[in-house]
Copies of this chain bind each other. A is one copy, B any other.
Amino acid sequence: MNEKNTISVATMKRLPLYLSYLQSLSPDAPVNISATSIAAALKLNEVQVRKDLALVSSGGRPKIGYKTVELIADLESCIGSEVLHEAVLVGTGNLGKALLNYNDFGRYGVHIAIAFDQNPENIGNCVNGKEILPCEQMPQVCAQRGIRLGIISVPQGAAQAVCDEMVKSGITAIWNFAHVKLIVPPGVVVLDEHIGTSLPWLVGHLS
């Protein structure tokens, strides 16, 4: 299996789709499954599915396909993480709360351990068992717990400052929900999740 960080974001996003499709198959289904039939079921490009699966599993045989159980195991091993990485989240507005309440990031190897906010009304509250602390405590908390993963769910105007604080706190991987391109030093990676920015594409199809 390839190292995760050599697989593209686009491929990584498709892997959970393959996995949930395979897991949804009846126990009576044939023991083997081909990239062709997965592609057809998910309405994806066959060449793309074939390439994606080859990155994840070496079990594919010409004209036979993959053993379904083996492919499921290989996908789980690639998507999941042996280690559960703790993350901090900054910004506990509606989006932040939604992320704190979501319990399924664990299957992608992430557990949001603690949240930070600068609004005194939110500080001291708990969301889904996760405490909200003042932002000033981030460096200390990250150092104590060895946290290197940060989630930014603050408004656009505040995101770069939060990002800078995260970097100072030893965060090296940032999941950014603010609609702004963050500037980070070498060695820090940012994954942008700009919700809504692809809406114009969808709206364009209404016209």
Contacts and interface: CB of A to CB of B under 8 A. Distances in A.
Interface of A: 3-5, 7-9, 12-13, 15-17, 20-21, 42-44, 78-81, 85, 93-95, 97-98, 101-102, 104-105, 108-110, 148-149, 156, 172-173, 175, 179-181, 183, 189, 191, 193-207
Nearest to A80: B200
Chain A contact surface mostly: mixed
Contacts of A104: 196
A73 B106 CA distance: 43
A85 B5 contact: no
A102 B196 contact: yes
Copies of this chain assembled into the complex: 2
Contact of A149 (B149, B198, B201, B202): B202
Of A149, A172, A195, A198, chain B has the most CB atoms within 10 Å of the CB of A198
Nearest to A108: B199
